[in-house]
Structure 1
Amino acid sequence: MPAGPCGAGRRRARPPGQRQAELQTLPPETLPVLVGSGPSSEMLHELIGAGHSVVLWRREPVAPGSSYADFEQGIDHLVREARTPAALPAALAELRAQLAEGAPEAHWASGPALLYDDPTRPLPEPGPLTGDL
């Protein structure tokens, strides 16, 4: 599943129907990664409607002295290490534990969030997570 950005910092203004049509053209294994100020309920609805049931985003502003590049590189590493959607919750929990312990390599991780649109079903396992931001 390739990670790919779908963020406020990279989004062009376009009608919601057009944006959803563009989202539907992404391969189904694409993992949307939202950067910027966080997702709106409209954007999450469009992503889910376009068939993307797993989404990562930054829920907190970038800390002083950090950049979105740090977040993007960290998410890319997280996704590559997790390899499958089912492994993302544990990988994110481990990352948060490293942040709490003060691990320098986790400095970027104060705000990632994971959405899975149906908590009554297990996370999909279509194959390995791959790709870059």
Structure 2
Amino acid sequence: MEETFAMLKPDAIERGLVGNIISRIENKGYKIIQMRTSHLTADLIKEHYQHHLGKAFYPKLEAFMMRDQVLFIHLSGPNCIEGMRLLAGATNPNEALPGSIRGDFAFDMTENLIHTSDSPETAQIELRRFALI
């Protein structure tokens, strides 16, 4: 059974979409092993988004991620890494397919509701980073 990490971002919490998104994850058949809310620190955001450091949009991204709580989710299920990426939809909500979380609910590249791990290695790093394993 594969395991992965997902994070619902501040906009998902602020817009009251947590229940809807969790329902989609559970309806897909994935098992939620653990969930917890937290506020992110600037240091943790820098570590998580290190590939974006120095880019013009980074300050906006950091401010957004610190604006409110996030929800960390540890999931398991067959092919759940790829499945969660498809369920989340393309990062750009204008390219996300209808039926995906971003395709149905997101309207901004920064405020795009959800993060999902992109590989087994990244999933393990992110699960450790956010203290879910």
Instruction: Give the TM-score normalised by the residue count of structure 2.
Output: 0.32
Instruction: Give the TM-score normalised by the residue count of structure 1.
Output: 0.32
- The structure carrying a bigger strand percent of its residues is 2
- The structure carrying a bigger helix percent of its residues is 2
| Higher-Rg member (1/2) | 1
